[in-house]
Amino acid sequence: MAEARTLKALFTAGATALALTMGAMAASAQEATSPPKDFTTFVQELENDAVTRGIRAETAHAALDGVQHIGRIIELDRKQPEFTFTLQEYLDRVVSPQKVEKGRRMMAENKAVLEKIGKHYGVQPKYIVALWGIETDYGRVTGGYSVVSALATLAFDGRRSAYFRGELMDALKILDEGHIKPESMSGSWAGAMGQCQFMPSSFLKFAEDWDGDGRRDIWTTRADVLASAANYLSKTGWHDDQSWGRPVTLPANFSDRLIGLDQKRAVTEWGKLGVKAANGKPLPKSGVEGSIIRPDNGGGAAFLVYDNFRTIMKWNRSTSFALAAGHLAERIGGK
């Protein structure tokens, strides 16, 4: 029941550090192509649809008037890398010494606001900073594509048109509410936006106006970025009295049927089954429930993961991503 994760899994809901490096950093040039024959008609249909949904006509027109069909986005969507990394290779790339050191600096620079945000939402600051670091290298690499053009291109393509059309309508709602101007709404090739790489639908659910200026600005206002990430975790099940999990060692006769996120037992019960801490010591006696996972096809390290791990996987449905977030948070926090 071990799970092998490829980079393709990391291109889905949110752009990871690797996805950003391979796609968004090359996105400063929009690479617009000659519009397909029916694209202009499609854009007009989008504008009419937006108005029908309650978007002001002037907003829809301003956002869609200069929309471009970007052929490079279709290439990226259909040719996502399939290279498989072991967990350790992935962690070495994502949880690098440089990222850890920068994360510690960011924790120190933003200590006051992080403490307030952490207390308000019930999320330990180190996890907020870790997700910020993995997604955009702490706001350094956020993507250079026009979100409206990217989503219009993907909606026109047809492969997942309904999904991206819905995201585009949400993007137009964000513009209509005045959180950002169309020319400043930039993000990844898949439409993930800002320093925490929210899709428009996630923005509407979770983005926060921490500084109280009337705009939820996940692009340039650091306090809004950090509060939005914390709010996402808080509303999707975070427990501030727990960690993400821990590495463990398994007994030689441990059954594969006990491995997987669908198998959930109290830490004490796992201990009775012979599971020990990574250093060989007994697990603590605890009623906290967790699951045993082995990411590298059952042949590598094993981890006992808790509900917070599952919450991170709601952010990005990748075991490797969630483990990287947990490891980076611990390193940033000093472990």
CA distance 326 to 322: 6
CA distance 77 to 134: 21
Q: Residue 158 class from Cβ within 10 Å (0-12 exposed, 13-18 middle, 19+ buried)?
A: exposed
CA distance 260 to 169: 37
CATH of residue 320's domain is 1.10.530.10
CA distance 174 to 225: 16
Backbone phi, then psi, for 322, in 5-degree steps? -65, -40
What's the domain count of the chain? 1
CA distance 44 to 61: 9
Domain that holds residue 249: 245-332
Q: Is the dihedral of CA 30, 63, 195, 242 positive or negative?
A: negative
Q: Are 212 and 234 in contact (CB under 8 A)?
A: no
The secondary structure element, H or E, covering residue 90 is helix 87-94
Residue 302, domain member (yes or no): yes
CA distance 234 to 231: 5
DSSP single-letter state for residue 280: S
Residue 100, domain member (yes or no): no
Rounded to 10 degrees, what is the CA torsion of 120, 314, 162, 45? 20
CA proximity to 293, closest of 283, 281, 302 = 302
Residue 96, domain member (yes or no): no
Strand partners for 303: 247, 293
Residue 35, domain member (yes or no): no
Tens place of pLDDT for every residue, the chain, 335 residues? 323 333 334 433 333 444 444 343 444 444 555 556 799 999 999 999 999 999 999 999 999 998 999 999 999 888 765 556 788 999 999 999 999 999 999 999 999 999 999 999 999 999 999 999 999 999 999 999 999 999 999 999 978 899 999 999 999 999 999 999 999 999 999 999 999 999 999 999 999 999 999 999 999 999 999 999 999 999 999 999 999 999 999 999 899 999 999 999 999 999 999 999 999 999 999 999 999 999 876 667 999 999 999 999 999 999 999 999 999 999 999 87
Residue 325, domain member (yes or no): yes
DSSP single-letter state for residue 7: G
Q: Are 286 and 28 in contact (CB under 8 A)?
A: no
Residue 44, domain member (yes or no): no
Residue 154, domain member (yes or no): no
Q: What angle do CA 93, 26, 64 make, to 5 degrees?
A: 130
> Given this model, what pLDDT does residue 299 score?
66
Q: How many Cβ atoms are within 10 Å of 263's Cβ, its own excluded?
A: 15
